[in-house]
Amino acid sequence: MAVSPGSLEALRRRNRLHIIEILQQQGRASRAEISRATGLSRTAVSTLVGQLLADGIVVERDDEDRQAPSPNGGRPPTLLSLDPSSGGFAGIYFAHDSVRAIVVDRSGTTLADARAELDVDHQPAEAVRTSVGLVADLLGRVAMRQDRLAGIGVALSAPLRGGAGELASPRIFPHWGEVDVAHEIGSRLGGTVHVGNDANLGGLAEATVGAGRGTSNLVYVMLSAGVGSALILDGKLYEGQTGTAGELGHMVVEPDGAICRCGNRGCLETVASSAALSTALNGAHGSALAFSDLLGLLERRDPAALRALADAGRAVGRALAAACTMLDPGMVVVGGELAAGGEALLDGIRETLDRETSATGHGYPVVRGELGPTAEVLGAALLAMRSAAFATPLERAPIA
C-alpha cells in the first residue's frame, strides 16, 4: 500500500518507529518518558503504544520490574519494553571477502552470529547460498523457527540506487549486476528482504546503538577493503535523491594517483583502504601483506605501518573536510576493519580535518566506532526492524 510521505499515515508510522527506537536504546521506558523524548502528547503516545501492544511488539513489564514509586506518592509508572519473544530479524552482510550473518530479537539484542570467508565479489551465487545456510544454522542454534523471522536485512558493498537494492554502478560490483538479492534470499528463507549499502547500515547501527547514539547529526566512515560513509542528518539516514549519497571512497583526493576499480584515478579508496595500505607497505616489507599481517605490524609499532596508517587518515580527513564544512555534523565515527589500527589513523584524520575546517570556528570530534566488525551486519538487521516497524500489520509478513 503506497503512502504519501507527507500524509497523516506516514507521520503515524514515523512516530511509531520513533517509539520503538527509544525502547530499543533505553531498554524500557514509561509512557510519560516516551512523551518527553518524542515531544508527542501523552494521548498520542498512549494511542501508538496501544497499537504496538496489540501487535505484540511491545509489552508492559511485570510489577517486580517497575520503577520506584513516583515522587508524589502515586503508583509507579508502568514500564514498556520491546517483546523479545515476538519474533526476530536476520541480517546478512556481503563484504568483499566474506559473508556474515546475524539473528537478533525484537529489542535488537544479538542472539547469534557467524562468518564465512568467501570471494564474494566474484561468486554471487555461492555467496547467496552461503548466507542462506548461515541464517538457517543460526536459527537452529537459537531455537527460532524460520516463520518467526519478521524480516531480513542485507548489506551490500556497493552503491545502491533507491531502496530497491539495484546496483547504481555495476562496474564496481560487476558479477552482481544481474542478481536480484532480495528475491534470491527471500525465496529461500521466506519473509520480506530489505537491501542497503553496507556503509549506510554500519552508520545506522553506530547511530542507533553504538558510538553515535544520542547524536542527531553524524558522519560514519567505513574503512575496510573498500571505503564508504553514511550521513545521519536530524536522526535519519540521508541517502540522497537516488540513494547514492555518502560514496566517500570515490571522491578524488589524488588527481594523479592510482587508477581505482571504478575507472577514476586517485579515489580515496586507492589510498585509504586496507588493500591500499598493504600495497603501500610492499616496498618496506618486500611482499604482499594480508590484513592480519598489517594489524600485527601496527601492534608492534612498525614505523612504516604507522606512517602508512597516518597518511591514510590524513587523506580521509581531506575528504571529510568538505562534507563537515557543508553539513556541520556533531561527530565523525570511524568504523571498518582499519579502525582497529589504533590512534595513528584517528590522529591523521583529526589533524587534517581540524586544519581544513578552521573557517567553521570549531572542531569535529572523531571517535572510533563501538560495534567493530558487527556494525554492518547489525545495521542490516536494524534495517529490517525499522522497515517492519514502519509497516502496518497487514503489510508485514505474518508471524505464525
DSSP characters for 228-253?
Answer: EEEEEETTEEE-TTTS-TT-GGGSBS
Cell matching residue 121: 565479489
**Collapsed DSSP state (helix, strand, coil) of residue 203:** helix
State whether residue 220 is helix, strand or coil.
Answer: strand
pLDDT for the residue numbered 20: 83
The cell for 359 is 573557517
State the pLDDT at residue 201: 95
Give the separation between CA 18 and CA 49, rounded to whole angstroms: 11
Q: What are the contacts of 321-325 at 24+ separation with CB within 8 A?
A: 321/352, 321/353, 321/356, 321/357, 322/251, 323/219, 323/229, 323/231, 323/248, 324/219, 324/353, 324/357, 324/360, 324/364, 325/356, 325/357, 325/359, 325/360
Residue in the structure block whose three cell numbers are 576499480 = 261
Phi, psi of 75 (to 5 degrees): -65, 145
DSSP codes of every residue in 251-306: SBS-TTSPBPTTS-BSBTHHHHSHHHHHHHTHHHHSS---HHHHHHHHHTT-HHHH
Contact 173, 157 (CB under 8 A): yes
3-state secondary structure of 332: strand
Report DSSP state, residue 341: G
Distance CA 200, CA 155 (A): 9
Note the residue count of the chain: 400
Instruction: Output the pLDDT for position 18.
Output: 85
Cβ atoms < 10 Å from Cβ of 360: 12
Q: Distance between CA 171 and CA 197 in Å, rounded?
A: 16
Tens place of pLDDT per residue across the chain (400 aa): 455 555 788 788 888 888 888 887 788 899 999 999 889 999 999 999 998 888 878 889 765 544 555 555 566 788 998 887 777 899 999 998 899 999 998 878 899 999 999 999 899 999 999 999 999 999 999 988 888 888 999 999 887 876 556 776 666 677 887 888 999 999 999 878 999 999 999 999 999 889 998 899 999 999 998 899 999 999 889 988 888 888 899 999 999 999 998 889 999 999 999 889 888 888 788 677 787 888 888 889 999 999 999 999 999 999 999 999 999 999 999 999 999 888 999 999 999 999 999 988 888 999 999 999 999 999 999 999 888 765 543 333 333 2
CA distance 195 to 186: 11
pLDDT of residue 165: 66
| Inter-residue contact 150 to 191 (CB < 8 Å) | yes
Cell numbers standing for residue 81: 519494553
Whether the CB-CB separation of 97 and 158 falls below 8 Å is answered with no
For the chain, list the domains and their CATH numbers: 8-82 (1.10.10.10), 88-201+376-390 (3.30.420.40), 215-370 (3.30.420.40)
User: What gap in Å lies between CA 208 and CA 211, rounded to an integer?
Assistant: 8
Query: CB–CB of 181/154 below 8 Å?
Result: yes
**Among 278, 298, 276, 305, which Cα is nearest to 290's?**
278
The residue among 236, 240, 242 whose CA lies nearest residue 162 is 242
User: CA 268, CA 316: separation in Å to the nearest integer?
Assistant: 7
C-alpha cell at 224: 575496510
CA dist 61 → 28, 33, 44, 53 (Å) = 9, 15, 21, 12
CA distance 368 to 202: 13
pLDDT of res. 396: 37
Amino acid at 283: G
Task: Answer yes or no: are the C-beta atoms of 269 and 253 closer than 8 Å.
Answer: no
Cα 26 to Cα 18: distance, rounded to the nearest angstrom: 12
Per-residue confidence (pLDDT) for residue 115, from 0 to 100 = 97
User: Which DSSP symbol is given to 164?
Assistant: T
Cell, residue 302:
612498525
At residue 398, the pLDDT reads 33
Q: With residue 101 as reference, give the H or E element that holds it.
A: strand 98-105
